[in-house]
Amino acid sequence: MDIIKLEASRLKGAAAVVAAAFFHYPMMRFYFPNEARRKRWLPWYMKNTLKCAMHYGEVSTTADGSGIMFVLPPGHTRLTDLEYIQHGFLLTPFVVGFKNYAWNSQCEKFVADTQEQLMKDRAHYYLWGLVADPNAQRKGVGTALLKTLTDKADAENMPVYLETHEEKNVTYYERFGFKLIHSATIPKHGLDIWCMVRE
């Protein structure tokens, strides 16, 4: 299965795949509790996320576009508010609502702070997202994408960190050498998080 770097011309299609894969993901349901608004705005949200990843890290895709992986590199695994704004997130408070935006910001800060605390300034890759089109799951798409990252990390003797908000994903990533190092519930919001590292 050929894995290539995502080109800007394919950004919109890639965002649609990521949005479809994450449509029922706990964090996205929390950000967009109204299903109709989630359907409308999640592709926009994911397009901006991928723009950030393309600028500061790398976005990989299968040749047919059925799988997407976005990764941030050692030394830049946490983005600032300004960096998010510069790549399309300026309108987020208006899209999700100001109250939801405040809650979302609290959750994002908790997730980012947790990564920093667990990795303790250790250089590492951050596996920000790995998805397969819902119609292409269980066909080796995720495995092929992930192998490109783990091979690169192994060659550099570099750990890879990720977090997930779905417990079922823990077993999936354990197949690739990731180990669960922490789990928590985000205060006030009841969102669970599982943190994993592949040494």
pLDDT of the residue at 121: 85
Asked if the model's pLDDT at residue 84 lies above 90, the reply is yes
> Residues with Cβ < 8 Å from 87, sequence gap 6 or more?
48, 51, 52, 55
Q: Can you tell me whether residue 106 is helix, strand or coil?
A: helix
Asked if the model's pLDDT at residue 136 lies above 90, the reply is no
Quickly list H helices, 57-125.
81-86, 92-96, 98-119
pTM of the model: 0.96
Structural domains counted in the chain: 1
pLDDT of the residue at 53: 98
Burial of residue 59 (number of CB atoms within 10 Å: 0-12, 13-18, 19+): buried
List the domain range (segments joined by +) for residue 30.
3-198
Q: What whole-number percentage of the chain has pLDDT above 90?
A: 91
* Separation of CA 103 from chain center: 18
Q: What whole-number percentage of the chain has pLDDT above 70?
A: 100
Of the pLDDT bands very low, low, confident and very high (cuts 50, 70, 90), residue 137 is confident
pLDDT of the residue at 166: 97
CATH of the domain at 61: 3.40.630.30
pLDDT of the residue at 138: 78
Quote the tokens at residue 19: 């949005």
